[in-house]
Structure 1
């Protein structure tokens, strides 16, 4: 039995890939330990999935405050020392990092101790700052998109890391209660702009759609409790069940969200984070899926200004065309198994 360290977080999109690989390794008889930020989404997810968790300091840059770089660097170095102590106790056989600034201290610690392999995973088309910081210290780069490997020759294309449960979907199931079920979510942290637009549009939406709204932590609106046809939650751990029960969706443009919707054949309207608060990765993701006909998207300003109901009716009318495009996107091999092989490949090499 080997032991592997997993890191990544700040959002569910960065934490869940590591958790899914950890579960794959545990199913093969290995031990998995997750290292991430204190009081974080990754800590809550690990508790839900029964994965041991160690908290360290992490440094996240604020894109609107230049001085934040000094505080982030200090916290990252603190976290690297804390992670080094954890890794020295555990003596792992490999490390997998799935992005976000929670990855950086763990990669630095692993490299300083000579741990191999160190695998860092690119969820989006382009590499974020945390992944770029990890890359010089990593032994392998795995990529969700084949195009990423064209930019980074050391990349290994593995495809999306998704929950296997989402693929067990009955495509011919009739809409619930005769109305399509609209799933609206803005990622694990919520999206205030999407929440506000949706809630203002409910009087026009509810005659045509049942709405399941995942609004983010501390973003519930008690005034809407009990509204017929509308259900709101801060976060849903068993998200695959919600996804399988949905007919169309509104979401942000994170890679994980788009892949899950595409692989379940769920037509969706994506609203990527604007450039004012992101590096544009979600816009790149949306454009990629738009080129193959699998995603419809609007920039946030257009989404906020446009009537929502006509856009969703148009999406629903196009559902058969969109689903046909989605069918051509399915990966040939589960990413979790490909990454498991990379992690165990070094172990087997060391034993021979």
Structure 2
């Protein structure tokens, strides 16, 4: 039986889908090895990994000075050589992009192992573009990604999501709200800005919610939590405020609409819960990929996209009211994006 080597990290956007696939394979008794970077989020969260793990010294090489690029390339070469003794030609490597996974991609090509890529976002990472010609298949989340790769290699699988995210799907909205201490009969707006929070989003949504008759669930990120918590107190806003929340599925289930950035994992999770969204894409995302992520959902009828530079309180209010006035249609629209069997699709495509 072939072993699986899974690599994705540096950021949560690369790590958590790779973790989801790792968990899925281990649960089904497939020998799996995770490969990551000591500099990435995956190292700080290594206790989540259910498999053997190898952590390498690797560094980003995009968006840094030339001498740091050279430094990063040297470490990629050294890490790739180190990995060679861990890889056999019959192994299956699945790379989720980002600098942390390039050594596995390079070592797999050198060893002659079967190489597969997964691209989370609409605009591919430099790592996946670099490895695409040497890969067997390329798994994508967004239709927009297909234009960057040889079409005969592309398989739309969706994004792997950890099983714990889905455990509240059978919960009623009323039960979810009761667990959070919210009123069951008032609409709930969920606000979140990703793992690091988003100061702009926090500020503008507090102003937005100040004049609306809704409850809110607001996940601020650690740095902005004290400020936002105090604003909720001053403005007497109805809702709950968290710096971070481990069980996002409960928040999705309790909510009627989300106001958020447009990372691939967030969009995928929202689609699985049928939760429409007002997207304010992070304006500094690489290649503006969050905007293209959000536009694909908008085209499906599952949300509305507003650029940050255009995100006035008035414009956000108009978009929010438009979604809530026809929420069922928007909910069905975002559900069209959902592929809950992403791990199964990836596995079957490697066989």
1:20 aligns with 2:27: no
Matches within 5 A, 1:1-352: 2-61=2-61, 63=63, 68-89=65-86, 91=88, 93-114=91-112, 116-149=113-146, 151-153=149-151, 154-164=153-163, 165-166=165-166, 169-170=169-170, 173-174=173-174, 176-177=182-183, 178-201=185-208, 203-204=210-211, 207-213=213-219, 215-221=220-226, 224=229, 227=233, 229-274=238-283, 276-304=284-312, 306=314, 308-331=316-339, 334-343=341-350, 345=351
Indicate conservation of the 8 Å contact 2:304/2:319, yes or no: no
Count of residue pairs the alignment pairs up:
336
**Displacement after TM superposition at 1:168 (Å):** 5.2
Indicate conservation of the 8 Å contact 2:280/2:306, yes or no: yes
- Give the direction of change, closer, same or farther, for the CA distance of 1:209–1:76 in structure 2 (3 Å limit): farther
- Give the direction of change, closer, same or farther, for the CA distance of 1:95–1:68 in structure 2 (3 Å limit): same
- Give the direction of change, closer, same or farther, for the CA distance of 1:104–1:338 in structure 2 (3 Å limit): same
Indicate conservation of the 8 Å contact 2:207/2:313, yes or no: no
- Give the direction of change, closer, same or farther, for the CA distance of 1:190–1:322 in structure 2 (3 Å limit): same
- Give the direction of change, closer, same or farther, for the CA distance of 1:196–1:35 in structure 2 (3 Å limit): farther
Query: CA–CA distance in 1 between the matches of 2:44 and 2:302?
Result: 32
Normalized against structure 1, the TM-score is what? Answer: 0.82
- Give the direction of change, closer, same or farther, for the CA distance of 1:113–1:255 in structure 2 (3 Å limit): same
Query: CA–CA distance in 1 between the matches of 2:97 and 2:267?
Result: 17
**Displacement after TM superposition at 1:70 (Å):** 3.7
Indicate conservation of the 8 Å contact 2:217/2:251, yes or no: no
Deviation track 1:29-56 (CA, whole Å, cap 9, x = no partner) reads 1132222222532234442343443322
* Other-structure match for 1:348: none
- Give the direction of change, closer, same or farther, for the CA distance of 1:37–1:59 in structure 2 (3 Å limit): same
- Give the direction of change, closer, same or farther, for the CA distance of 1:51–1:183 in structure 2 (3 Å limit): farther
Indicate conservation of the 8 Å contact 2:208/2:313, yes or no: no
- Give the direction of change, closer, same or farther, for the CA distance of 1:16–1:54 in structure 2 (3 Å limit): same
Tell me the C-alpha RMSD between the 2 structures.
3.0
**Displacement after TM superposition at 1:236 (Å):** 3.3
Deviation track 1:10-31 (CA, whole Å, cap 9, x = no partner) reads 3222111111111111122113
What SS class does the counterpart of residue 173 from structure 2 fall into? coil
What SS class does the counterpart of residue 279 from structure 1 fall into? helix
What SS class does the counterpart of residue 212 from structure 1 fall into? strand
Deviation track 1:97-141 (CA, whole Å, cap 9, x = no partner) reads 112222212211222233x21111111233222211222332321
After TM superposition, the structure 1 stretch with the greater mean CA deviation from structure 2, 23-32 or 33-42, is 33-42
Query: CA–CA distance in 1 between the matches of 2:245 and 2:66?
Result: 33
Indicate conservation of the 8 Å contact 1:108/1:137, yes or no: no
Which runs of 5 or more structure 2 residues have no equivalent in the other structure? Answer: none
